[in-house]
Copies of this chain bind each other. A is one copy, B any other.
Amino acid sequence: MNAVSDHTGASPRLDEPPFIVPLCAVFRKHLKADGQKFTAERARVLDTVIRMERVFEAEDLLDELRRRRMRVSKATIYRTLKLLQDAGIIEPVLFDQKQTHYQLAYGQPPRDQMICVETGRVIEITVPEIIDVRDRIAARHGWSPVGHRLQIFAVSPEAADEPSEEG
């Protein structure tokens, strides 16, 4: 079973994203507010996270850090992922897999996904209409909306063309 696999093993960005500086500041600020420290290890993890092109998991970070000759222990990676999530810099993306997958969240519009049920290919989509729908639903129940997550399951054109494997 590898329904959702082509997005894992995320490859690093080649260009320097412009938000690296503010993100670093955001993280420092968040840490300071909690009496926590901005260490070299945390900087390395943040920097590597920012370079991740797609959804990634703890193991991907470990690999990428190793590739960049930056040593950070597995325990610290897990601990830092949690801090980055608290700071709103990354957010978990939920798949039917046991490892937690993350994506950059800071300054991004809500990133929804469309997943091919045949090939497992995942593409990111933006669905502005959703905001409206969600606000309406929340209002109807008397709740105050703060966010959402949408996954669309579909068959991609590549998969539709190919003769199905099972039958």
Instruction: List residues of A whose CB falls within 8 A of some B CB.
Output: 92, 94-96, 98, 100, 114, 116-117, 123, 125, 127, 129-130, 133-134, 137-138, 141-157, 160
* Protomer copies: 2
Known interface pairs A148-B152, A149-B151, A151-B148; A157-B133 also in contact (CB < 8 Å): no
Query: Given contacts A134-B152, A146-B155, A148-B152, could you give 4 more A-B pairs where the C-beta distance is less than 8 Å?
Result: A117-B147, A137-B152, A148-B151, A148-B153
Measured CA separation A125–B92 after assembly (Å): 22
Closest to A82 in B: B1
A139 to B, closest residue via Cβ: B154
Residues of B within 8 A of A156 (CB): 142-143
Q: Which of B125, B142, B146 is within 8 Å of A137, CB to CB?
A: B125
9 smallest beta-carbon distances between A and B, as pairs: A94-B94, A143-B154, A147-B153, A144-B155, A149-B151, A145-B154, A138-B154, A142-B157, A148-B152
